[in-house]
Amino acid sequence: MLLTVKDLSAWLNVKPSTLYLWAAQGKVPCRKIHGVLRFEPDAITSWLCSFDSVSTKTIPPLIRHSNRGADQLVEAAKRAVYTPDREKSDKDRAQQGGN
C-alpha cells in the first residue's frame, strides 16, 4: 500500500510542505500518480536507513570562541554613533563647518 503525503508527514514528523519540497528536489523517493505524490514504505525505509551510515566522527567538534572581540567592536561602534543628549557627533560638527 502506498503512503500519502499526510501519512508520511505523520510518520517522519515533518510538515507536508517539507515533503513536497523534498520530492521536487529529488531528496525523497516518491511516485507521482495522476499528479498526486505517493510513497512506497519499503523505499522510504531504505532511504531512512541510508542516513544511519553517516559517521558523526566526520563532523568537527564545536569550538567556542570568546565574544569579547565582538563585544568590544559593538561598543566602539556605539560610541562612534551615539552621543550624550543634545551633543553633536563629530560627523555632524564636520558637516556644519566645525561648530
The domain ranges of the chain are 5-52
At residue 7, the pLDDT reads 95
At residue 76, the pLDDT reads 81
Residues 23-52 as b or e (16 or more Cβ within 10 Å = b): beeeebebeeeeeebbbeeeebeeeeeeee
Question: Taking the model in full, what pTM does it have?
Answer: 0.53
At residue 25, the pLDDT reads 96
Q: What is the pLDDT of residues 7-33, one digit of tens each?
A: 999 999 999 999 999 999 999 999 999
At residue 84, the pLDDT reads 66
Low-confidence residues of the chain: pLDDT under 70 = 53-68, 83-94, 96-99
